[in-house]
Homo-oligomer: A and B are copies of this chain.
C-alpha cells in the first residue's frame, strides 16, 4: 500500500488537531507528516502516534514531496498557499471559504457528491478540493437521500451553532464569560459580537453593510449557496437563519424540507433517512430489536453534547408539517469539528487516494 505524505496547515487549531486525531483513528496510511501553523505557534510540537512533530511556519518549498495538504487556517492563508501546494504536486483539501464557490473547484461531501472526485492513484492531476462550511455539510448529508428518493422543492433551516465553530478562542470565551456570569458579572466580548455567556446571538460571520447581503449574515449565505452547489440543484430555494448558542461543540439545525413527491408515512421517510450514507437516524421513541422505529417510549433525539466526538450526522424528530403534506421537519445534529470539518476533509482524501478507513 502506498504511503501518503501529508501536510496539515493550521495544525495547532482545534480543526487541525481534530484532523490529526482522525488520521490516527482511521489509520490513514501516512508516510511523512508535516505540520504548519502561524508564527504564534513557533516552537510547538504535536504528537502523532509515537512521534513528536515540530510545527513549522509556511515558506516557499515546504510542500515539496507531499501528496496531500489539509488547510484549516482561514481564507487568506488558503488563497495564497493552496495553489502552491497543488503546484508542488499535492492535492489541497481546503477547509476555508476561499475556493468553495469557485465554479472550477469541487465542493465535496463524499457521501453526497464524491462521485465527482478524481482518482489520485490513477494519475489524476493534483487540484484544490474545497471542504464545505460545517453547517452545510450536516445539512446536505441529511438532505441527499431525500433528494434522491423524493426530490427537493425547498429547504428552510434555523441553526443552533456551538462556539467551537469559532475555534479554541471561541471555546475559551464561552468558558471565561460563563464563569464570570455565574458570579453576576459580565465579560466584554472579543471573539463573538456580543457576550455569549447564557445568551444566543443571531449573527455568525458578518453582515456586509450596504445591501449586497440583503440582510443575511455570511454563515447564512454559505449554507444557502453551498447547499445548492453540493446537491447540484442551483435553483433549489434554501433559506437559512443562523444563530450562535452557548454550547460547546456540534451544531444543531431545525429543518423544514418540502419534497417534490412526499412519502405517505413517517416510516417511509425515516427508512430513507436511516439508509442514507453518513446518517444515524434516531426515531422519537427509539429503535426496536429489528431496528425499526418504536411507537412509544421515552422521547429520544440527538443533542449537541451527545453528538460531540461522534462521526455521524444524527437526524431526529422527523415529523410531517401539519400544514403541508409535502413538508417534513427534522432535527439534524453533528460534530462541527469532525464531520463539519476534519472528518469530511479526511473522507475526501480517502476517496481521492482510494483508501478504506479502519472500520
Contacts and interface: CB of A to CB of B under 8 A. Distances in A.
A214 B247 CA distance: 29
Contact of A194 (B200, B216, B303, B322): B303
A9 interface: no
Nearest to A206: B299
A156 interface: yes
Contact of A241 (B202, B243, B299, B329): B329
A215 B324 contact: no
A246 interface: yes
Interface stretch (A115-123, A141-149, A248-256): A248-256
A351 interface: no
Contacts of A28: none
A80 B243 CA distance: 41
Given A239-B323, A246-B246, A305-B199, A209 B297 contact: yes
A326 interface: no
B254 A322 contact: no
Interface string A275-297: 00000000011000000000111
B323 A209 contact: no
B254 A319 contact: no
A245 B159 CA distance: 12
A297 B284 CA distance: 45
Given A200-B160, A305-B198, A319 B216 contact: yes
B299 A193 contact: yes
Given A158-B158, A215-B319, A245-B245, A304 B199 contact: yes
Nearest to A255: B241
Interface stretch (A55-63, A82-90, A95-103, A174-182): A174-182
A322 B214 contact: yes
A317 interface: yes
B254 A158 contact: yes
A102 to B, nearest CB: 21
A248 B198 contact: yes
A211 B193 CA distance: 42
A160 B209 contact: no
A238 interface: yes
Interface string A156-182: 101010000000000000110011001
A34 B199 CA distance: 36
Interface string A182-209: 1000000000011100111111001101
B175 A182 contact: yes
A161 B297 CA distance: 25
Nearest to A210: B296
Contact of A200 (B211, B241, B247, B318): B247
A297 B193 CA distance: 13
Contacts of A195: 305
Given A160-B200, A285-B209, A317-B202, A323 B237 contact: yes
A327 B241 CA distance: 13
Closest 8 CB pairs of A and B: A215-B319, A237-B323, A158-B158, A209-B296, A241-B254, A199-B305, A158-B254, A202-B331
11 contacts: A156-B256, A158-B158, A160-B245, A175-B182, A195-B305, A202-B252, A210-B296, A224-B322, A237-B324, A243-B252, A245-B245
